[in-house]
Amino acid sequence: MRFRTVQPADERESGRSPGFENLPAIVAAAASLRAVRAEAAAEAERLRGLVERIRTRVPELVPDIEVVGDPERRLPHLVTFSCLYVDGEALLHELDRAEFSVSSGSSCTSSTLTPSHVLRAMGVLSEGNVRVSLPRGTAEADVDRFLEALPGVVAGVRERLGAPKAAEAEAAADPQPEPEPEPGLVVDSLGKRCPIPVIELAKVIGEVPVGGVVTVLADDEAARLDIPAWCEMRGQAYEGERPADRGVAYRVRRRA
């Protein structure tokens, strides 16, 4: 049996060699790679500026939002922020209606319904977490339109969930003089998914004196992340959890 190449051949190796290397194509590929890398570096710098605009403006435009992640050591096109009193899926749907495609949670667990171990390690909210990824070619006008739409979208989702308004939340956090310490409050959020336990906690924290304790009963696994994260964002003291007859009891002490 004689070997015969299926590619164009010449006299080398008795016709078994497919021919000389395509040097022009090799040079063109190297030049293309250099051009693409230079273009990618310039685009990354441009997107970094747009992401920085989002990181700066979102907390100014929307109350009770925390931008997470290192401001410098980060991917140039990615920004994540956590919204208190918001259901992540509801927020995603409303932003989708406004023609913005964003994600919730960490990308490595976006296909699951369990709280993200990445967000757990970061100590941020598991519900109401928004991840914005700017694709190549994103215009500044697109970012401006997103920033214009976001406050109304978040406010609408919070209103449907019965979340406290910003003024109410601030009033609840202000210290109120009490002559005598009162017994702590118990919030029964059993059977309710986050962010409802956090919303109910925010509504009653002002009803206990400074130093008083609110105990939240919840059986949603996400509460284990969201209640401590809420305490960190609102300046309250999280005192841990303990098993309850049903679910888990989370203790929050009001600070001055």
Enumerate the active-site residues: 108
Nearest partner of 220 among 87, 82, 84, judged by Cα: 87
Structure tokens at 209: 């004196």
In sequence order, which residues have a C-beta less than 8 Å from that of residue 219 and are 6 or more positions away?
Answer: 190, 191, 246, 247, 248
Q: What is d(CA 228, CA 88) in angstroms, rounded to the nearest whole number?
A: 18
Decide: helix, strand or coil at residue 2: coil
**Could you give the C-alpha distances from 186 to 50, 65, 130, 153, 183, in angstroms and in order?**
44, 26, 30, 31, 10
Cβ atoms of residues 204 and 214 within 8 Å: yes
